């Protein structure tokens, strides 16, 4: 059915060749740019917007007049859109799109920051920190879904990871024991998902959703029974230490963000590279992709479809569980009921928005992290833009991406279809 509707869609596109993807993107950018130049430009007060590079307000900063900046960057967005509309070379498509979107964001920022200042280091490191669990969760999804198992239970894996990290780290008074048990917590949920989906052929989306509710219930129940009564004994986990790499940490902006941070940051970024390399260059990756696209063919050449799927879902569980550790070992120093509050679903959105690739997921997670960080910043400086609408951004962006309004995303062919050997 999906294929049929997609064929219909393809037909529509071939009939109206003029409005191909770059042109639609271009038109969208031109519209955005006009909004930016006219609306943001007229609203922005003609005062200096300062983007500080150092930590304090008075230090080195990039400054621009708010009104001028809003209009200037709006015009740049229009120009990028116009270039796409005019049919600029295919090679420049991504670059132009990137320039357009960045300029739009900058135009918005010029309006908001005019007369105030925005600490760049804090924004960048905040973005990365908010994005950390999203990166790990989305990677877990990538590994599972590329082998054909839909993982909607990322939220549940986060919760179990966060809970186990808090509890074991407190009981063992070792943050590393906490990190490892977080991964194990994720594996528990992933194992349930794998057995139910692969062995018992239950609809994977159904299992995922139900497992999320299960994880919410179990962690909430144990929290109330154990942690609430004996906070000291079960729920005061030590925090992951912040490590500073000498030398590298002194690079402006990038240094403090990347080299003065916890091991979880390096784990997340390292895993992106490892998973990307693994999926594209190794035997395991080739097999994973084969199993996810055409399990029957993979089985014919002797790949153990179900075994590989089990393996991938469990690896994913460990990664997502480690992502859950972020909530209790880095962000806050205790477990709270339902503390992930939908981060698992944003990770799912990042995975889809990033087109089921590790680097795509990284980009999407950073983008969503930036949106959230910006929302906190704006509500802190008392912006007229409600933070709720900025928080909606990840969800709406994903709807737009999935609906193919600006370029379609396509899942692996056998994603979510259980394999029954015949």
Determine if 201 is a binding residue for other proteins (CB under 8 A). Answer: yes
Closer to other proteins by CB, 244 or 408: give it. 408
CB of 3 to other proteins, least distance (A): 8
Q: Can you tell me the distance from the alpha carbon of 132 to that of 314, in angstroms, rounded to the nearest whole number? A: 20
- Which burial class, exposed, middle or buried, applies to 380 when counting CB atoms under 10 A from its CB (0-12, 13-18, 19+)? exposed
Query: Under 8 Å CB-to-CB from 340, ≥6 apart: which residues?
Result: 133, 155, 158, 159, 162, 324, 327
Closer to other proteins by CB, 226 or 311: give it. 226
Among 20, 38, 59, 224, contact with other proteins (rule: CB under 8 A): 224
Cross-sheet strand order for the sheet of 61-65: 61-65, 48-52, 117-119
Contact 208, 347 (CB under 8 A): no
Residues 181-200 contacting other proteins, CB under 8 A = 192, 196-197, 200
Q: Can you tell me the distance from the alpha carbon of 352 to that of 375, in angstroms, rounded to the nearest whole number? A: 22
Please work out the total of residues on this chain that contact other proteins, with binding judged by CB under 8 A: 61
Determine if 380 is a binding residue for other proteins (CB under 8 A). Answer: no
Closer to other proteins by CB, 227 or 264: give it. 227
Query: Under 8 Å CB-to-CB from 196, ≥6 apart: which residues?
Result: 202, 207
CB of 83 to other proteins, least distance (A): 26
Residues 141-180 contacting other proteins, CB under 8 A = 148, 150, 152
Among 68, 88, 101, 218, contact with other proteins (rule: CB under 8 A): 218
CB of 338 to other proteins, least distance (A): 10
Q: Can you tell me the distance from the alpha carbon of 308 to that of 325, in angstroms, rounded to the nearest whole number? A: 26
Torsion sign (Cα): 342, 344, 349, 354: positive
Determine if 210 is a binding residue for other proteins (CB under 8 A). Answer: yes
**Residue found by looking up tokens 């030590």 in the block:** 238
Q: Can you tell me the distance from the alpha carbon of 418 to that of 201, in angstroms, rounded to the nearest whole number? A: 6
Closer to other proteins by CB, 191 or 416: give it. 416
Closer to other proteins by CB, 115 or 416: give it. 416
Residues binding other proteins (CB under 8 A): 1-2, 4-6, 9, 148, 150, 152, 192, 196-197, 200-207, 209-211, 213-214, 216-218, 220-226, 337, 342, 345, 348-349, 352, 386, 388-389, 391-392, 395-396, 398-399, 402-405, 408, 411, 414-418
């Amino acid at each position: 059915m999906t294929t049929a509707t997609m064929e219909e869609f393809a037909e529509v596109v071939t009939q109206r060749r003029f409005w191909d993807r770059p042109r639609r993107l271009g038109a969208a950018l031109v519209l955005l740019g006009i909004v930016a130049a006219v609306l943001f430009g007229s609203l922005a007060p003609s005062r200096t917007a300062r983007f500080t590079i150092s930590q304090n307000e008075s230090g080195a900063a990039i400054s621009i007049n708010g009104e001028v900046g809003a209009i200037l960057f709006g015009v740049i967005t229009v120009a990028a859109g116009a270039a796409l509309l005019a049919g600029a070379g295919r090679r420049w498509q991504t670059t132009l799109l990137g320039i357009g979107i960045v300029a739009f964001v900058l135009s918005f920022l010029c309006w908001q920051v005019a007369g105030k200042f925005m600490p760049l280091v804090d924004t960048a490191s905040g973005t990365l920190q908010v994005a950390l669990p999203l990166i790990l969760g989305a990677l877990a999804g990538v590994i599972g879904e590329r082998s054909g198992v839909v993982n909607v239970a990322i939220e549940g894996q986060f919760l179990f990871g966060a809970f186990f990290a808090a509890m074991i780290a407190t009981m063992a008074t070792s943050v590393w024991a906490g990190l490892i048990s977080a991964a194990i917590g994720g594996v528990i949920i992933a194992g349930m998902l794998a057995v139910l989906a692969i062995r018992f052929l239950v609809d994977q989306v159904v299992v995922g959703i139900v497992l999320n509710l299960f994880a919410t219930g179990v962690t909430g129940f144990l929290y109330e029974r154990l942690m609430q009564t004996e906070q000291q004994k079960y729920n005061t986990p030590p925090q992951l230490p912040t490590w500073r790499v000498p030398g590298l940490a002194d690079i402006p902006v990038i240094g403090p963000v990347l080299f003065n941070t916890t091991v979880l940051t390096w784990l997340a970024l390292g895993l992106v590279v490892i998973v990307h390399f693994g999926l594209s260059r190794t035997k395991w990756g080739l097999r994973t992709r084969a199993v996810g696209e055409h399990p029957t063919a993979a089985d014919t050449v002797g790949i153990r479809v179900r075994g590989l799927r089990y393996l991938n879902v469990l690896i994913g569980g460990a990664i997502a569980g480690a992502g859950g550790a972020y909530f209790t070992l880095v962000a806050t120093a205790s477990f709270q009921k339902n503390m992930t509050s939908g981060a698992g679903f944003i990770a799912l959105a990042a995975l889809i928005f990033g087109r089921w690739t590790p680097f795509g997921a990284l980009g999407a997670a950073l983008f969503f992290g930036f949106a959230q960080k910006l929302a906190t910043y704006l509500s802190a400086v008392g912006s007229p833009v409600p933070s709720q609408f900025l928080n909606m951004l990840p969800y709406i962006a994903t709807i737009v991406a999935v609906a193919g309004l600006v370029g379609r995303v396509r899942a692996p062919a056998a994603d979510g279809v259980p394999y029954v050997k015949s």
